[in-house]
């Protein structure tokens, strides 16, 4: 009896998923364009490549002044244009803006020798302040596969590439969304996704406007 019940539930669940493509959000050529505004914390390059990609010489200048710098990435802002190619695929073009602030701490210089001074790092900082280092922009392209679709929303995955518009390394970064969730009405919807890109490293969320 128990095995029959479990089998019935499994069949019922698969039956709900299988017709998703037929019963889902139908492709409407009158409303294939969308604008999405999202934010993510922090950008991929902040985790994998670090702030030295902004200006590698800058951090040697800090050390030569007896200073230590701790980077703080502000949540990125992303503006995307999306077009529904068909019921399964969307094409995205995303412009990303991110900004890094640095917390600077001043330590005591024991001996002002060349080429690098002797600094007392163990006694702790004698002063600290914050300063803005640099803003960065990137453009990304990705294809979104809507593999589970309903009238109220969809589950999707995405794959693409990102290209920094400001001098940074590497010159190309991935845009990967293992899973994303979109839900809402005919013209306005919300979205949240796991994301690895110049837009975010873990979570990305925002709102979309379809027209």
For residue range 180-194, what is the model confidence (pLDDT) as tens digits? Answer: 999 998 899 999 999
Domain-by-domain residue ranges, the chain?
25-210
* pLDDT tens, position by position, 124-153: 888 888 777 777 888 999 999 999 998 889
157 versus 201: the higher-pLDDT residue is 157
pTM: 0.71
| 43-100 pLDDT per residue, tens | 666 555 454 444 444 555 677 788 887 777 778 899 999 999 988 999 999 998 888 7
Q: What is the DSSP track for 14-79?
A: HHHHTTHHHHSS---TTS-EEEEEEEEES-HHHHHT-GGGT-HHHHHHHHHTTEEEEEEEEEEEEE
As its CATH architecture, domain 25-210 has Beta Barrel (2.40)
Per-position b or e across 55-69, b if 16+ CB within 10 A of its CB: eeeebeeeeeebbbb
């Amino acid at each position: 009896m128990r095995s029959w019940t479990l089998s019935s539930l499994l069949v019922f669940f698969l039956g709900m998923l299988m017709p998703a493509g037929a019963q889902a959000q139908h492709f409407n050529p009158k409303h294939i364009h969308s604008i999405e505004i999202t934010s993510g914390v922090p950008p991929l390059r902040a985790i994998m490549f670090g702030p030295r990609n902004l200006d590698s010489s800058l951090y040697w200048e800090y050390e030569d002044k007896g200073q230590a710098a701790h980077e703080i990435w502000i949540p990125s802002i992303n503006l995307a244009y999306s077009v529904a190619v068909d019921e399964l695929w969307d094409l995205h073009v995303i412009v990303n803006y991110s900004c890094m602030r640095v917390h600077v701490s001043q330590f005591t210089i024991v001996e002002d020798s060349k080429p690098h001074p002797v600094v007392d790092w163990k006694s702790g900082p004698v002063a600290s302040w914050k300063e803005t280092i640099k803003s960065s922009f990137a453009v990304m392209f990705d294809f979104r596969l809507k593999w589970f679709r309903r009238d109220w929303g969809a589950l999707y995955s995405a794959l693409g590439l990102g290209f920094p518009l400001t001098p940074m390394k590497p010159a190309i970064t991935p845009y990967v969304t293992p899973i994303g969730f979109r839900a809402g009405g005919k013209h306005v919807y919300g979205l949240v996704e796991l994301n690895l890109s110049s837009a975010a490293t873990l979570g990305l969320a925002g709102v979309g406007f379809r027209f």
